Amino acid sequence: MTNPRNLPSVDSLLQTPQLADLIALHGRPLAVEAIRFALDRARADSLAGLDLPSRDSLLARVDAFLAAWTRPSLQPVINASGVILHTNLGRAPLSRAALAAMQSVALGYSNLEFDLSTGKRGSRTHHAESLLQKLTGAESALVVNNNAAAVLLILSALAKGKRVAISRTQLVEIGGSFRVPDVMKQSGAKLAEVGATNKVRLRDYEEAIREGASLVMRAHRSNFKIIGFTEEPDLVKIVELAHKHDLPLVDDLGSGTLLDTTTFGLGREPTVQESLAAGADLVCFSGDKLLGGPQAGIIVGKKEWLDRIKKHPLARAVRADKLCLAALSATLIHYLKDEAAREIPVWRMISATAEQMRGRAEAWREKLGQGEVVESESTVGGGSLPEESLPTFALSLTVKHPDKFLKRLRESNPPIIARTENDKILLDPRTVLLEQDSVMVDVLTRMTRINEFRE
C-alpha cells in the first residue's frame, strides 16, 4: 500500500503509549517535530513507489530521530591508537583532581573575580598565577584560551606596528593550517625574517635590530626538525643581544613542558624553567599538551611586560574561563607536589614501561580469546617531540576487511580508535585508560564474532 493518505495523523500518533514515553524523555515540541519529519519521509517514500511503513515502524523511526537529534556530537572515545597527545581526540586527558576541581566550581558559584579577604572585586588572573610563579620562578603570569591567542596578545600589546625579528627556521605551521607568520601579521606586527632556511647567525639578528626591530621572538620547532647543514645561535646568546639593545625577547615554546623529557627516555624538549633561566622576558606555551592540563595558553615572565599585556583590550577577549582555571590550577598543583608522573594521565602514559604494556595487552588477548601480542611503538604526538617514540606492546587482530572493522569500531558505543599495520588491527594499551579496559574488550568480543569479519 503506497497511498500517503493512509498514513496516521500526528495527533493519533501522539496518543500512543510509546509517544507518551518519548514526550516525557524529550519534550512534546521535539516529539511533534520528529513525528512530522517521519511522516514527511514516509510520504516521500510512497511517492517513489515504496510501501508505507506500519504504525510500529513509524514509531521506531520517531524514536530513532529523537535519539539522533539529542545525542551530543562531542562524545568520549577510547584512544587505542598509541598517540598520546592526539590532536583530533582532544589532546591531554585530565587528571581526576582536575575533573573534580572543574565540577566543584561549575556546580555553584565561585570566587572567580571576588576577593574573599576584602569582600571586594578580585582578579581571575590570580588563581593560576601564584602557582605558575612558584613552579617556574617567573615574576608574573597570565592564562588565556590557547597558545596562538597568547602569541597574538603578546605581539598586539608589545609590537603592533613594529618590527619583530624571528628566524626563518622558526616560521612554523601548526595544526589546522595555522601559521606563526599569519598570527604575527594579525597582531599588526611587522615580520622581520632573520637568516636563511637552514642557517641563522647572531649577526643576522643584529642586522634586523639595526633595521628597526623592536622585539625579538623565538618559536620552538616542536613539530619538526631541521637536520644536516644547519646552524643557529642558542637562546642565551639571542637574549644577550636583545637585552644589549634594550629589547624584550619572547620565547614561544609551543607545547611546553615543566619536566625533563630525557628522564623518560625521550629527546630533549626545552623546559619553561630553562627558557626563563636563559633570560627570556616572556615565555608562552600550551596547557593541553605536555603540561597535561586543559586547553590554555600560558604566558610567564617579567612583570613589566605582563602588566602591559594584561591591560590590553584583547586580553579580555581571549581570557580563560573558570573551568579552565580550575582544571589548570589542579594540574599545576600536581607539579608542585611532585606527583605529576603519577597523577597526570599524559605523564603516566609516557612513564609506563614496555613490560607494563605487554602485561595489559596479554590480559586483553586472554579475555578476548584471540589475537597476538606484538612489539610496537607509541608516539607523543600533539606537535611535540617529532620522530620520538616509546617502545610498547600492542594487541594485533587478524580480521577480514580491516578498514571496515576500524569503521565499525569508530561507530561502536563507546567509539574505539585503533590503527592498522600490515593489514592487521593494532590496539595500543599505552593510550587506553585502565578503567576502559573491560569496556573495550567487551566491544571487541562482539565485533570479532560478526561473521563478516571472521577469518
Q: pLDDT tens, 71-85?
A: 989 999 999 999 999
Q: Determine the average pLDDT of the residues in 48-66.
A: 90
| Residue reference for cell 616509546 | 390
C-alpha distance from residue 139 to each of 47, 134, 270, 433 (Å): 73, 9, 20, 37
CATH number of 94-343: 3.40.640.10
C-alpha cell at 149: 591567542
Q: How far apart are the first and last CA of the chain?
A: 43
Among the ranges given (105-109, 131-135, 229-233), the one the predictor scored with the smallest mean pLDDT:
229-233
Q: Helix or strand or coil: residue 398?
A: coil
- Paired strand residues for 199: 231
Q: From the CB of residue 365, how many other CB atoms can be counted at a distance below 10 Å?
A: 17
For the entire predicted model, the pTM comes to 0.89
**Which fold does the domain 78-86+346-453 belong to in CATH?**
Aspartate Aminotransferase, domain 1 (3.90.1150)
Highest average pLDDT, of 32-41, 231-240, 261-270, comes from 32-41
Concatenate the DSSP letters of all residues of 23-41 into one string.
Answer: HHHH-HHHHHHHHHHHHHH
Q: Determine the average pLDDT of the residues in 172-178.
A: 59
- Check: CB of residue 142 under 8 Å from CB of residue 299: yes
Listed in sequence order, the DSSP H helices in 137-218 are 147-158, 180-186, 202-210
Q: Is 191 left (phi over 0), alpha (psi -120 to 50) or beta?
A: beta
Domain assignments of the chain as residue spans, ordered by start: 4-70, 78-86+346-453, 94-343
C-alpha distance from residue 264 to each of 29, 102, 380 (Å): 56, 29, 12
Band of pLDDT at residue 173, cut at 50, 70 and 90: low
- Check: CB of residue 285 under 8 Å from CB of residue 147: yes
Band of pLDDT at residue 1, cut at 50, 70 and 90: low
Domains 78-86+346-453 and 94-343 alike in fold: no
373-419: pLDDT as tens digits:
999 999 998 766 766 789 999 999 999 999 999 999 999 989 999 99
The whole-angstrom separation of Cα 313 and Cα 152 is 12
- pLDDT value for 385: 73
The whole-angstrom separation of Cα 394 and Cα 420 is 11
Q: Determine the average pLDDT of the residues in 298-319.
A: 96
- pLDDT value for 203: 87
- Check: CB of residue 297 under 8 Å from CB of residue 287: yes
Residue at 353: amino acid letter: T
- pLDDT value for 126: 87
Q: From the CB of residue 296, how many other CB atoms can be counted at a distance below 10 Å?
A: 24
Q: Determine the average pLDDT of the residues in 284-302.
A: 96
Among the ranges given (68-72, 327-331, 429-433), the one the predictor scored with the smallest mean pLDDT:
68-72
Concatenate the DSSP letters of all residues of 74-122 into one string.
Answer: S---EE-SSEEE-GGGTSSPPPHHHHHHHHHHHSS---TTEETTTTEE-
C-alpha distance from residue 396 to each of 127, 316, 375, 418 (Å): 46, 49, 10, 10
For the cut 80, the answer to whether the pLDDT of residue 114 exceeds it is yes
Average pLDDT, the chain: 90
- pLDDT value for 409: 95
Q: Determine the average pLDDT of the residues in 215-223.
A: 79
Kindly tell me the burial class for residue 433, based on how many C-beta atoms sit within 10 Å of its own C-beta (0-12, 13-18, 19 or more).
Answer: middle
